Amino acid sequence: MRILLTGGAGFLGSHLSEHLLDAGHELIVMDNLLTGRANNIAHLFGKDGFTFLNYDVTNYIHVRGSLDYVLHFASPASPDDYLRYPIRTMKVGAYGTHHTLGLARAKKAKFLLASTSESYGDPLVHPQKEDYWGNVNPIGLRGVYDEAKRFAEAMTMAYHRESGVDTRIVRIFNTYGPRMRKKDGRAIPNFINQALAGEPLTVYGDGSQTRSVCYVEDLVEGIYRLMQADYHEPVNIGNPSEEMTMLYLANKIIQMTESESEVQLLPNAQIGDDPKVRQPDITLARKLLGWDPKVSPDQGLRWTIEWFRAN
Ligand code: UDP
């Protein structure tokens, strides 16, 4: 198949790119390298069927030839990034989604939107199931990302319902693994790099907020299966197996890296409306895709620590 992937030079996008090329598909990656890095896909240049286009998908997109799939993954996704680029985050969620959907319609291609657990905001229902509508502050600092993705979901359903575009929506929960940027700002790369450098681990608030973390290879497998499924409403993909507090995660990383670092509690005002709990209900993905995450946080964190040590 001939596939267009926006955001393919990002952390997730680069792993998905690899997976798609390994499965024998022809792949066009479009990325403006705002938060993605050419380095993430450097090893794919020169592979059969791989093309990279440095392009900002908030502009009109023109692609020559036929396309079987359009996968829209472009967006800043770390809270640090979308706080730094709030307008560009809204533009890629709004105009970027509009353009990629328009392209899918014109090419009669299948479409998949990378959405997020942030669609649920600071959830009042726990664990989060797809039929929960969420608790989002539209004007909070995180609103730029949450509302952009919620708009993107609404736009995707509008193209599906009005124009019959064959769409899918994945709601991605916290994911980690090799190729996250050292200064990405998210908890896992921050904690690992702080622990390896012997610096204090910056836990925001009192550290009692929870997350459930998924190793990137599990996530990519779930997304690949969803691409091929005949289902149009959102599907959660994440690893619910060990919901943990950020204080527990920080201490776990200190132990695993055998670091002398200590935990430092910092006020979390700068990240605004930080969800207090998060755990995906993946009953739907299990049933629909026959998918289940396989990598435990212990194993995945070990691999990720090794990667950061080596890089
Ligand atoms: N967090 C933290 N210290 C950091 C970075 C993040 O305590 O150095 C917390 C953050 O407040 C949130 C959780 O870790 O409660 C997960 O944050 P992350 O940025 O990884 O992703 P999010 O789930 O907020 O999108």
User: How many domains does one find in the chain?
Assistant: 2
Q: What is the pLDDT of residues 39-79, one digit of tens each?
A: 999 999 999 999 999 999 999 999 999 999 999 999 999 99
**254 within domain boundaries:** yes
What is the C-alpha to C-alpha distance for residues 93 and 95, in angstroms, rounded to an integer?
A: 6
CATH number of the CATH domain containing 26 = 3.40.50.720
Q: Which of 145, 159, 176, 204 is catalytic?
A: 145
Question: What's the whole-number mean pLDDT along residues 116-127?
Answer: 97
If 0-12 CB within 10 Å is exposed, 13-18 middle and 19+ buried, where does residue 300 land?
buried
Expressed in angstroms and rounded, the spacing between residue 184 Cα and the centre of ligand 1 is 11
Which helix H or strand E contains 260, and what residues bound it?
none
Decide: 249 in ligand 1 pocket, CB within 6 A.
Answer: no
Reduce the DSSP state of residue 51 to 3 states and report it: strand
Q: Which domain holds residue 70?
A: 2-176+215-239+279-294
What is the C-alpha to C-alpha distance for residues 25 and 109, in angstroms, rounded to an integer?
A: 14
CATH number of the CATH domain containing 251 = 3.90.25.10
User: Same domain for 72 and 131?
Assistant: yes
Question: What's the whole-number mean pLDDT along residues 171-187?
Answer: 96
Residue 8 has pLDDT above 90, yes or no: yes
pTM for the full predicted model: 0.97
| Ligand 1, atom 23, residue with closest C-alpha | 174
Atom number of ligand 1 nearest to Cα 207: 7
Query: Percent of the chain having pLDDT more than 90?
Result: 97
| Ligand 1, atom 13, residue with closest C-alpha | 187
Residues 294/218, Cβ–Cβ less than 8 Å: yes
Q: What is the pLDDT of residues 232-262, one digit of tens each?
A: 999 999 999 999 999 999 999 999 999 999 9
Atom number of ligand 1 nearest to Cα 118: 25
Question: What's the whole-number mean pLDDT along residues 289-298?
Answer: 98
**222 within domain boundaries:** yes
**182 within domain boundaries:** no
